[in-house]
Structure 1
Amino acid sequence: MSDQSGLPQLVEPTRILITGDSITQGTSGDYTWRYHLWNKLVELDLPVAFVGPRSDLYDFESGEFGSATYAQAFGGQSHGAKWGSSLLLDGPEITEQVESSMPDVLVEVLGSNDLACLATPGETVERLLTYIDRARAARPGIGIVVGTVTTRYDVQLERYTLESESTEYRALLSQLAAQLDTSGARIVVADISTGFDPRTMTWDGTHPNEAGERVIAQRIFEALGGLGIGPVDTHAR
């Protein structure tokens, strides 16, 4: 694009802050779903920048943060996700993250640890509402993508867990998004749980392997389309 002088105009990238727990941060040796999402956006030549206070992975073997050992380095490693995070314990951090990162879009994938620690789906949605309110207060008009919660698979007992909780949370999340979505402050749901099989798409029943990462990235990509970033997805709501 160029102006009347014929000189090219610089397009400011859309700043995207991705927050979440271990499913989003990843551990040493992971690609992470953030990597696959970044590639999808870059392949379409979309002007985006991932922002956030950290760029690291969690090292599962040492139990320490700060690993830079991605399976493949990429240009969008900045994020706001942290292993072990929950809406209850880490919700207040979103104010500082938004104020320091100044994102245009917030992608939130939390709630799994809340539900796993016996918070009801209703309680978890209430925590998310507070989270959203804090983000909007720090950055009025911010676009928001909220992710559903994937089920888990107990590899020892060979059974799925969080199934009913995930289903109820997804329904409540859709209702919340419909209530909060306005033309001046958009919010859409990324349904990362439908079609996600933790038995085959994780390496331990919870954390995604590359197949799981690709599924999550695709669902987030589709939801971003609902905010005008990339192709419009008719399923984003």
Structure 2
Amino acid sequence: MLRFMPVGDSMTIGSAGEHTWRYRMWQHLRDTYDRPFALVGPRETLHDKATDTPTSYEYADPDFPRAHLAGWGEGWLHMAPLIGDAVRSCRADVLLVSLGLIDLGFYTNAEQTAENVRAFVEQARSAEPRVRMVVLPVIPNVRAQDDAPFGAQVTLFNELLAKAVADLDEPRSPLLLASPPVSYDFTVDTYDGTHPNASGEHKIAEAFAEAMHQAWGWGQTYAAGTN
């Protein structure tokens, strides 16, 4: 059985009442992947905006394996020290990682964030030398459009991320850079300029699914469905 661990920030954990892209990915794998699989991780909850705590179980559809390693306001800086224990304890085989926006917005510049990417990969491999990783570049949000210096940092980080992936990729532990969703538009695919709505959830899941299908032959082409 392959164990997939979604790793991310607020766009991955989601908040009360949402499906999350994790759910969309689970649906896709359930319908197209021909091997047993599970979603794993040390956390299960959504973020509760009312209390500003990760304590909600109010998924739009709770009937799926909800495990993950994601947190509102957490980035590469926060996940690098946690990923080794998470991979080890949950026996993760594949990490689906969407991080970076919060780092650049509040904690580290592009170069520092790229160093934390490298630390994350090192720690994940220290726990499982054959772990696979699919990494999504930072998807620009409304701030990246309106704040030119921040937008430049997002662009620079995505360039450094691509370099890190190329440098660190190795046959026994493949490191795959997903392509940003081509049609993703934060004015249409988010509810606040950053966090995905239903169409955004599908497009993020599609980015991961297409990367794995094209590079590794897993599953099939993503079909968003009607929900």
TM-score norm. by structure 2 comes to 0.88
Determine if contact 1:149/1:193 at 8 Å carries over to the other structure: no
Name structure 2 gaps, 5 residues minimum: 223-227
Give the corresponding residue for 2:25: 37
CA deviation string 1:115-149 (max 9, x = no partner): 11262222211110001100001111111111111
> How big is the alpha-carbon RMSD for the aligned residues of Structure 1 and Structure 2?
2.0
Determine if contact 2:165/2:177 at 8 Å carries over to the other structure: yes
State whether structure 2 residue 218 is matched by structure 1 residue 229: yes
1:143 to 132, 141, 149: 132
Whole-angstrom CA distance in 1 between matches of 2:166 and 2:174:
10
Determine if contact 1:152/1:160 at 8 Å carries over to the other structure: no
Give the corresponding residue for 1:48: 37
Determine if contact 1:17/1:105 at 8 Å carries over to the other structure: yes
26-35 vs 177-186, which deviates more?
177-186
Amino acid at match of 2:71: K
Task: Assess, with a 3 A threshold, how the Cα gap between structure 1 residues 169 and 74 changes in structure 2: closer, same or farther.
Answer: farther
Name structure 1 gaps, 5 residues minimum: 1-12
Amino acid at match of 1:88: L
Q: What's the CA shift for 1:64? A: 2.1
Give the corresponding residue for 2:173: 185
1:214 to 193, 198, 202: 202
Match of 2:142, SS?
A: strand
State whether structure 2 residue 121 is matched by structure 1 residue 153: no
Q: What's the CA shift for 1:168? A: 2.1
Amino acid at match of 1:171: E
Whole-angstrom CA distance in 2 between matches of 1:93 and 1:191:
26
177-186 vs 126-135, which deviates more?
177-186
Match of 1:182, SS?
A: coil
State whether structure 2 residue 189 is matched by structure 1 residue 195: no
Give the corresponding residue for 1:7: none
Whole-angstrom CA distance in 2 between matches of 1:14 and 1:31:
22
State whether structure 2 residue 112 is matched by structure 1 residue 133: no
CA deviation string 1:137-174 (max 9, x = no partner): 111111111111111215xxx93664322222222222
Give the 5 Å matches for 1:167-178. Answer: 167-178=155-166
CA deviation string 1:62-105 (max 9, x = no partner): 22222111111232211111111122233201111111111111
Q: What's the CA shift for 1:228? A: 4.2
Give the corresponding residue for 1:99: 88
Whole-angstrom CA distance in 1 between matches of 2:82 and 2:108:
20
Match of 1:145, SS?
A: strand
Match of 1:146, SS?
A: strand
Larger Rg: 1
Match of 2:69, SS?
A: coil
Determine if contact 1:22/1:82 at 8 Å carries over to the other structure: yes
1:82 to 65, 68, 71: 71
